Structure 1
Amino acid sequence: MRGLDISLYVVRRLAQAVPLIFVVILLNFFLIHAAPGDPIDFLVGSMDASPEYIEDLRREFGLDQPLGTQLWAYLTRMAHFDLGYSLRYRQSVLDLILSRMPATLLLMVTALVASSAVGILLGVIAAQRPYSATDQTSTFLALAGYSMPVFWLGQLVLIVFSLHLGWFPTQGMYSLRAPAEGWGRIVDVLHHLALPAFTYSLYHLALIFRLTRIKMQETLSLDFIVTARAKGASEGRVVYGHALRNAILPVVTVIGMNFGFMLAGSVLTETVFAWPGMGRLLYEAIQARDYPVLMGLFTVLSLMVIAANVVTDLIYAVIDPRVVYR
């Protein structure tokens, strides 16, 4: 019966997402078209183009049509899962996004897993020793990490670890001289991944650490923890089997929210490290006023955030069986 309830809940959430996605598409369409700049100017560049050639370009991409006509054409294509054609890259927007998605997911999942695991572990350790040197040092470092802007931290680690020490490459996802496949390729990608993943994860690690520490301190002072210790349960079972399981739900909520924040924040990290993902594609599309790519990216990112929220809700059922879906 519980499996049926969860299935119905997922169907309802996905059904609720349909009007939300429609509103997102409308907002994206009008905001992007209201922004200053003309994609045709970018395509023409410094070339001395005739007015006839410019009009032909506008006609080719449908930019000569009224805004309402352009919106209807775009919604019609979206109904057939067609995100349009990129003005800059001259290829399908969907294919372009799918080609960049693996790089973003690799960076984001690595940073999310690392920040979540380390943040929870440090939060539990600090909560067991309140006001100790370990607790105060961890709190200070978390505050520092929480306060650093991503773009500034990225440039700082590039200067220190890439330019001065030479430990890591400065940009990109892989070296041109690296093997095309096999373990050599994997090691090369991981070598390039280290700095952007560290930069990407530090802010979220600090946030998860602080929340875990607070919730664990609250939970460890509750009566059922005192009872568990009085019954002779080991400290590890008390902390990780009882306290952490009860304190983890708000932390899971923040991790699910971090998924959306990481998607939005990928623009800065991927731009600093020239990481070939969706964030850098978004930056390039903004520069080029590539309307189809911008609207396609915003739509895909919105769908990914909604899916992450649904998955977060379902994880609650695994952690806490008392959660009921209606």
Structure 2
Amino acid sequence: MPDAPRLARVLVGALAHAVPTVIGIVILDFFLLRLAPGDAADVLAGESGAATEETVAALRSRFGLDLPVLDQLLAYLGNLTHLSLGFSPRYNMPVSDLIMQRLPGTLVLMLVALVFALALGILLGVVMANFAGGWPDRLLSVVALLFYSIPSFWIGLMLIVLFSVKLGWLPSGGAETIGSDLTGVAHLLDRARFMVLPGLSLSLFYVAIYGRLVRASMLEVTAQDYIRTAAAKGLSPVAITVRHALRNALLPVTTVAGVHLGGLMGGAVVVETVYSWPGLGRLAFEAVMARDFSVLLGVMLLSAALVIVANVLIDLIQAWLDPRIEVA
């Protein structure tokens, strides 16, 4: 287990790499978004239905949209130095306040999806590895291929048709029962019912990836000498799988899971829209439609920060799983 000084060096090194990375992401995203046609003033004018050229010009002047692109970039970077993400023309409120309202919903959804993906993927991979070459392995490989190939929005719609429309077991959208006065455990269970379908829709793609990865890792690990030694000592197959093979087979899974956090945030855009889930993904979609680039930049910046933090945590988890790994 890494000691405290070594962990401190990890955090300092990660911060040294993270700051220029985040700045580069912000600058790149800023210029890419400026390639899109229109701006927030055009959208607001179109929604009013009776805006004049003077009104549009006043809106652009109010939100700084009439400034040269470089001046807008410098102003945005200046705001970041003061820990401000700017102001949203569409929602008429600070971007940081808007993101903080939606962030908990997305984090909970991502956590649920990641738990589903890891639990189901590891179980799938272990079963396929134990029956390698047999009919369970072939059948589950086909299932994993389907999960990998089908778009998440189509899976979401089919889950709604099956579990909401046909069976009536789970709600089709939203985050909680509207108008309910539930508290405590009843409130948590009510919210959990609304998380099941979005979490599954977001996780099934990664279930396929983790299942195939665990299968390959398990087959490689079980061919090692220490596995044969454990079997020769009389350990049960379950003990060998859980205590020896699976622990080492999880190393590549933890690495890939950290990389996929950014993909989970991107997939949340589609899933949250399908299920009307109040999170950052739906907010990003609404910001694109409204040309509210300040909000979109804030969501992208937060996504990048989450991925960087997750990769640091993954390094620590790998060091815990395998003491031979040096955390540097």
Give TM class, smaller chain.
Answer: over 0.9
- 1:15 is matched with which residue? 16
* TM-score, normalization by structure 1: 0.96
C-alpha displacement of 1:46: 4.5
- The AA in structure 1 aligned to 2:157 is Q
- In 1, the alpha carbon distance for the partners of 2:92 and 2:311 equals 34
- The AA in structure 1 aligned to 2:189 is V
Please provide the CA RMSD for this pair.
1.4
C-alpha displacement of 1:315: 0.5
- 1:37 is matched with which residue? 38
- Aligned pairs for 1:303-322 (under 5 A) are 303-322=305-324
Q: Secondary structure at the match of 2:159?
A: helix
- The AA in structure 1 aligned to 2:242 is Y
* Partner of residue 196 from structure 2, selected from 189, 194, 197: 194
- 1:287 is matched with which residue? 289
C-alpha displacement of 1:280: 0.2
- 1:65 is matched with which residue? 67
* Partner of residue 109 from structure 2, selected from 102, 107, 128: 107
- In 1, the alpha carbon distance for the partners of 2:253 and 2:217 equals 9
* TM-score, normalization by structure 2: 0.95
- In 2, the alpha carbon distance for the partners of 1:264 and 1:157 equals 20
Q: Secondary structure at the match of 1:276?
A: coil
C-alpha displacement of 1:55: 1.6
* Partner of residue 151 from structure 2, selected from 141, 149, 152: 149
- 2:216 is matched with which residue? 214
Can you give the 5+ residue segments of structure 2 that lack an aligned partner in the other structure? none
- In 1, the alpha carbon distance for the partners of 2:186 and 2:240 equals 44
C-alpha displacement of 1:180: 5.0
For residues 23-71 of structure 1, the C-alpha deviation after alignment (integer angstroms, 9 at most, x for no partner) is 1010111111111122111112242122222221111101111111111
- Aligned pairs for 1:133-148 (under 5 A) are 133-148=135-150
% identity of equivalent residues? 42
Moved runs in structure 1, 4+ residues, more than 3 A? none
C-alpha displacement of 1:275: 0.6
Contact 1:17 1:306 in 2 (8 A): yes
- The AA in structure 1 aligned to 2:263 is F
- 1:2 is matched with which residue? 3
C-alpha displacement of 1:7: 1.5
For residues 207-238 of structure 1, the C-alpha deviation after alignment (integer angstroms, 9 at most, x for no partner) is 11111011101111222211221122232222
- 1:128 is matched with which residue? 130
- In 2, the alpha carbon distance for the partners of 1:36 and 1:25 equals 19
Number of aligned residue pairs: 326
For residues 132-168 of structure 1, the C-alpha deviation after alignment (integer angstroms, 9 at most, x for no partner) is 2322222221111111110111111122222233222
- In 1, the alpha carbon distance for the partners of 2:239 and 2:318 equals 21
C-alpha displacement of 1:2: 3.4
* Partner of residue 259 from structure 2, selected from 257, 260, 270: 257
- In 1, the alpha carbon distance for the partners of 2:162 and 2:246 equals 37
- 1:86 is matched with which residue? 88
Can you give the 5+ residue segments of structure 1 that lack an aligned partner in the other structure? none
